[in-house]
Amino acid sequence: MGEHETTGILESIVEKLPGGYDIYFWNFVILMFFTLFEVAAVFFETIPGTDIEITLYAVWAILIGVGVIKGYGIAAYFMHLKGDPRIYTRTALFPVLFVLLMLWGIGLSNPGSVQALPDWCTPNWEFASQR
């Protein structure tokens, strides 16, 4: 499917999987699995089947960690950066600086985090809580 052939540990594992699907199919499956994991981390207040509460910091850690994994999967295979010259990867990673600045500037430097942002900066959530 890609214009160039990628080689590595993941690619050699994919070649041995049943079904004859390529790396892009399995990358998509892995991305969907991690998306379900992200949604579950935000949706559930406790770990299902237990009384263990999922704290805000645990949700942050899950979302950031899974975001890094998904970002690699998207950049490496769907953007075809795996196997390309390093300058392409560095150019594509430049916007990460702005994402980190937004995370720090909005999410971490505000004492109340995103929950204490002004009213003009947050949506009206009444429609979601009233059915």
- Give per-residue pLDDT as tens, 88-122: 777 877 888 888 887 777 666 666 666 666 666 66
For residue 21, pLDDT over 90 is answered with no
pLDDT attached to residue 18: 78
Q: How far apart are the first and last CA of the chain?
A: 46
Picking from 91, 32, 89, 96, the residue whose alpha carbon sits closest to that of residue 64 is: 96
pLDDT bracket for residue 1 (50, 70, 90): very low
Q: Which pTM value belongs to this model?
A: 0.60
Domain borders along the chain are 9-129
Phi, psi dihedrals of residue 96, rounded to the nearest 5°: -60, -35
